[in-house]
């Protein structure tokens, strides 16, 4: 039987917290949406347990039996799956865009097998950034991979225009503050140069919004191309632009077991 539990109910009854997890965590693990999206669904009164409306994400359950979203029963969680997608430029990392701009899901319709479950992006790439975008059906795994505390390295290659030296780039190993925003350590290396045109490789673990572009622009560089080549142990390699491939179950399990537990 589902154990329905809320903090208010606990305070009134003095009952200990039962076994189970928050409904947002369980629904994320089942691939319904990310935790944040599920919290919005709850606020919009879209989730029920039986006939009872869920009013808080801090509802603890032992299973998803009887849970519905928009009146539809939630399926049992599938095994965690992870795909590597070579995102082209000109696509939003979003499910839909009300102004009609193309999204990654437009490309994924043709890149994925027909029986692929609903996938969520791990982190984001802005519209003009290309390269490796990981996609998973497991919202809890997505969250774990995005947490700064997991310290997962992301590697980018940037084509820039302007003057920069390796010595200047090495100052980023101590981090940098730009317009009040602090960016943690970045390992940056000048790959090759042809006059004012340069390729720079950067590895970081935070992944703040437009971090690579802002840091390079801070040095007076103009970024004309930005490619994410790796996320943790997963690499873009020679995956064609617009294509996707599934990552082996053994590789997912090996990677997941290496991640830090965010509760510790």
Check residue 17 and give its pLDDT.
60
Say what percent of the chain tops pLDDT 70: 91
Lowest mean pLDDT of 27-31, 177-181, 196-200, 223-227, name the range.
Answer: 27-31
Q: Is 115 a catalytic residue?
A: no
How high does pLDDT run on average in the chain?
88
Q: Averaged over 105-132, what is the pLDDT?
A: 92
Strand extents, DSSP E, the chain: 21-22, 47-49, 52-53, 60-61, 67-69, 72-73, 82-87, 120-121, 130-136, 154-161, 176-178, 181-183, 187-194, 197-204, 222-231, 234-235, 244-246
Strands 47-49 and 67-69, by their bridges, are: antiparallel
Strands 130-136 and 82-87, by their bridges, are: antiparallel
pLDDT of 136 above 90: yes
* Active-site entry in 106, 126, 163, 251: 126
Threshold 0.95, pTM exceeds: no
pLDDT tens across 29-64, in order? 787 887 888 999 999 999 999 999 999 988 999 888
């Amino acid at each position: 039987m589902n154990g329905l539990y809320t903090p208010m109910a606990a305070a009134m009854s003095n009952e200990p917290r039962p076994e189970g997890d928050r409904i947002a965590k369980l629904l994320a693990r089942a691939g319904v949406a990310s935790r944040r999206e599920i919290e919005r669904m709850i606020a919009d009164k879209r989730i029920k347990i039986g006939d009872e409306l869920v009013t808080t994400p801090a509802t603890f359950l032992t299973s998803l039996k009887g849970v519905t979203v928009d009146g539809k029963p939630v399926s049992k969680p599938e095994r965690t799956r992870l795909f590597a997608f070579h995102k082209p430029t000109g696509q939003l990392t979003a499910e839909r865009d009300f102004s009609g701009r193309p999204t990654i899901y437009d490309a994924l319709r043709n890149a994925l097998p027909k029986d692929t479950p609903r996938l969520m992006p791990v982190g984001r790439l802005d519209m003009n950034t290309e390269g490796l975008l990981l996609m998973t059906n497991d919202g809890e795994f997505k969250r774990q991979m995005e947490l700064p505390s997991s310290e997962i390295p992301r590697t980018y290659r940037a084509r820039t225009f302007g003057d920069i030296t390796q010595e200047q780039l090495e100052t980023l190993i101590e981090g940098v503050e730009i317009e009040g925003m602090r960016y943690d350590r970045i390992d940056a290396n000048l790959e090759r140069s042809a006059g004012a045109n340069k390729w720079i490789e950067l590895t970081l673990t935070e992944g703040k919004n437009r971090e690579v572009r802002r840091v390079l622009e801070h040095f007076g560089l103009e970024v004309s191309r930005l490619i994410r080549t790796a996320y943790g142990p997963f690499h873009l390699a020679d995956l064609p632009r617009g294509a996707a491939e599934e990552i082996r179950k053994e590789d997912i399990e090996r990677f997941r077991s290496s991640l830090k537990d965010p509760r510790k």
